[in-house]
C-alpha cells in the first residue's frame, strides 16, 4: 500500500463519515484538513483524481468548489475504505 492509496482511502472515509453523499457537499479546501502540511499538495492531486474517476461529484459555487461522494459508487467506495483502512462504513 502506498501513500497515494492511503490518502485516497482517508479522503473517502472522511467524506463518508460526514455523510457527504450526493447533495450533501463540503468545500474542496476542507479536504486537506487533518493531513500533514507537507501532504497538502498530494491531497489536492488525489482529490482531483477522485473527481476524474467519478468517485467524487464537484459542485462549483460562487465562493469556491464543493465536492460530495458519488452514491452510485457507494459499494466501491466502502470496499476501498475497508481494504485500506479496515473500517466498515454504513
Q: What is the pLDDT of residues 28-49, one digit of tens each?
A: 999 999 999 999 999 999 999 9
pLDDT for res 1: 66
Residue pair 54/69 in contact (Cβ under 8 Å)? The answer is no
Pairing of strands 26-27, 56-61: unpaired
User: What is the value of pTM for the model shown?
Assistant: 0.93
Residues 89, 20: Cα–Cα separation, whole Å: 13
The residues spanned by each domain of the chain are 3-85
Residues 27, 7: Cα–Cα separation, whole Å: 17
| pLDDT per position as a tens digit, 47-67 | 999 999 999 999 999 999 999
CATH 3.40.50.150 applies to domain 3-85: no
Amino acid at each position: 500500500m502506498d501513500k497515494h492509496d492511503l490518502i485516497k482511502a482517508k479522503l473517502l472515509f472522511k467524506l463518508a463519515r460526514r455523510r457527504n453523499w450526493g447533495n450533501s457537499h463540503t468545500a474542496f479546501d476542507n479536504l486537506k484538513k487533518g493531513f500533514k502540511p507537507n501532504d497538502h499538495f498530494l491531497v489536492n492531486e488525489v482529490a482531483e483524481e477522485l473527481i476524474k474517476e467519478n468517485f467524487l461529484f464537484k459542485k462549483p459555487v460562487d465562493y469556491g468548489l464543493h465536492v460530495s461522494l458519488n452514491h452510485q459508487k457507494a459499494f466501491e467506495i466502502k470496499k476501498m475504505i475497508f481494504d485500506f483502512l479496515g473500517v466498515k462504513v454504513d
